[in-house]
Amino acid sequence: MAQITLFLFPAIMAFAAASDLLTMKIPNWLTGGLVLAFPLVALLTGLDLSTLLYHVLAGVILLAAGMAMFAPGWMGGGDAKLLAGVALWFGLSSALVNFLLIAAIAGGALTLAFLAMRSIPLPAFTLTWDWLQRLHNKKSGIPYGIALASAGLVVYQDSGIGRSLISLAG
């Protein structure tokens, strides 16, 4: 069971990044799965009640922050929910701080890359690729879920949950 749960978070992050890249959407069932899997992981890793509450508090705080960024259009709704789901897994810890820092840097780099890509025309053979046309459109947003998922993957193995699952699976 520990081996399966060890790879659950990375699998969800990879799928979220791919989904955001290809569709500019992160499905509710995906972030819901991230949230619903957390109690199982918390039970499996033996989180005590106070630590569990800090994880829930991190998720609630970042859901509020994400929704505050969604309201003026600075972030997509799926990104805001993914942010909260990742925070739930990392809790109020240095892993969450590292995640937020890496996500901000990766998001900035991603934004600059998209602005550069959107300033040059696409090759003719890509004109039938709907997903690429959507990404290239200057009126489209930035698929920030890629930055969030990447940061989550970088930090996961050093998070409390990640280390506990690695220990249990080992």
Q: List, for residues 19-56, the tens digit of each pLDDT value.
A: 999 999 999 999 999 999 999 999 999 999 999 999 99
Question: Cα(101)–Cα(111) distance, rounded to whole angstroms?
Answer: 15
Q: Quick check: 17 pLDDT over 80?
A: yes
Rounding to the nearest 10 degrees, give the CA dihedral for residues 16, 68, 116, 25: 30
Question: Cα(36)–Cα(54) distance, rounded to whole angstroms?
Answer: 17
Query: What is residue 126's predicted lDDT score, i.e. its pLDDT?
Result: 92
pLDDT (mean) for 7-14: 96
Rounding to the nearest 10 degrees, give the CA dihedral for residues 156, 159, 164, 170: 50
Q: Based on the structure, what is the number of domains in the chain?
A: 1
pTM for the model stands at 0.94
Question: How many CA atoms lie within 13 Å of 145's alpha carbon, on the beta-carbon side?
Answer: 29
Q: Which domain holds residue 76?
A: 2-169
